[in-house]
Structure 1
């Protein structure tokens, strides 16, 4: 694909070089603006934020985007292209932001959480945060010795991506000898303030 990801870039509030970088991926049918609207709730003013738009138009929304097809007849169509685009995008960020992958946190919600695992498990990132996400078949790099520190969060009342998806992610990674910080919240398919607080604490513990 001869395309590059469009994105929203928000430098640190203090005009200083960023302490770290947070790349946040939206879900199926949302867009970068949706996740960027949560910026005040992250409460990480010394960090730079990047909010990429998925490359594909959403089939049911004029403004929504998709990382790949989720309808059954074309399930996962476009995943390989998005994986390559997102990997190259993440690897290009150090030259534009000055922040290496070792100080970059990749996080995502729902389909964006699935993409976080799809791409992030194979890169030397500082950490991964998955909110209401799921693990694709064959996403786990079985030959790797370690993966980035990973926080998996899910709502117990989620009717879109069932809680079992998060449990399966945790158990799959555990079975390969990887440790996962796993949290459940009384919530539906959403990003709530408790999740954002847990994300903030994870970022501060991982990068500082």
Structure 2
């Protein structure tokens, strides 16, 4: 099995980096492409991998792994790192990201990986083990304790809405604390009037984060 990927090549002859964006639970690669292209990164390759599993309630929806039913029963503090679907998605994402230097001619050190919600959780899960230019965690959460992990990727953007009814903001504050303890430098932003969404202010924070690390 390999991941379906939407690729939006840079509009310039010599791209300066890659940005990988992962969608959340029930969304898909076109959804991720919609907000990735809104960043208007003309000199950067954009790559949007799609979760390998069909979402149970949406014909076009995808997921990186299933969640309990009802969803309210899921605690974002649970350790789900050994979940079989998660392990499969983790391996597929690692293989995809590690193939990018060969596919694009751009090293991992000039590649940023990010994701929204479940995609944000996958970003932390996979990205810490790779020497990337940075990670962007949007309304995300941890899959497990990071007590024994040392982050290879040092620069991490964490953004969350204070009114998020799906993934509580406590999930991102826990992630911020654990990532900082792992040795990463975390840039944290909480948006007072934002729910489980990507507001324009988040796009601006992503633009700034990417430009600082790739320009």
- TM-score tier after normalising by the smaller chain length: over 0.9
Structure 1's 128 and 97: CA in aligned 2 closer, same or farther, altered over 3 A?
A: same
Give the whole-Å Cα distance in 1 for the aligned partners of 2:56 and 2:108.
33
Matching residue of 1:52: 49
- How far off its partner does 1:40 sit? 3.8
Query: How far did residue 175 of structure 1 move?
Result: 2.9
Q: Distance in 2 between matches of 1:133 and 1:117?
A: 9
Closer, same or farther: CA 177–93 of 1 in aligned 2, 3 Å? closer
Does 2:159 match 1:159? Answer: no
1:8 pairs, out of 6, 9, 20, with 6
1:75-94 alignment runs, 5 A limit: 76-94=83-101
RMSD: 1.8
Contact 1:69 1:77 in 2 (8 A): no
Moved more, 125-134 or 40-49: 40-49
Deviation of residue 150 (structure 1)? 0.3
Cα distance in 2, alignment partners of residues 191 and 148 from structure 1 = 24
5+ residue gaps, structure 2: 75-79
Contact 1:108 1:129 (C-alpha < 8 Å) held by counterparts: yes
Alpha-carbon separation, structure 2, partners of 1:153 and 1:168: 12
Instruction: Please say if residues 117 and 128 of structure 1, whose CA atoms lie closer than 8 Å, have aligned partners that are also in contact.
Output: yes
Unaligned stretches of 5+ in structure 1?
none
Q: Map of 1:2-151 to 2, 5 A cutoff? A: 3-14=1-12, 16-71=13-68, 76-138=83-145, 140=146, 142-144=148-150, 146-151=152-157
TM-score normalised over the length of structure 1 = 0.92
Secondary structure of residue in 2 paired with 1:153: strand
Structure 1 range deviating more: 79-88 or 142-151: 142-151
Q: Deviations over 1:104-126 (max 9, x none)?
A: 00000000000000000110011
Number of aligned residue pairs: 204
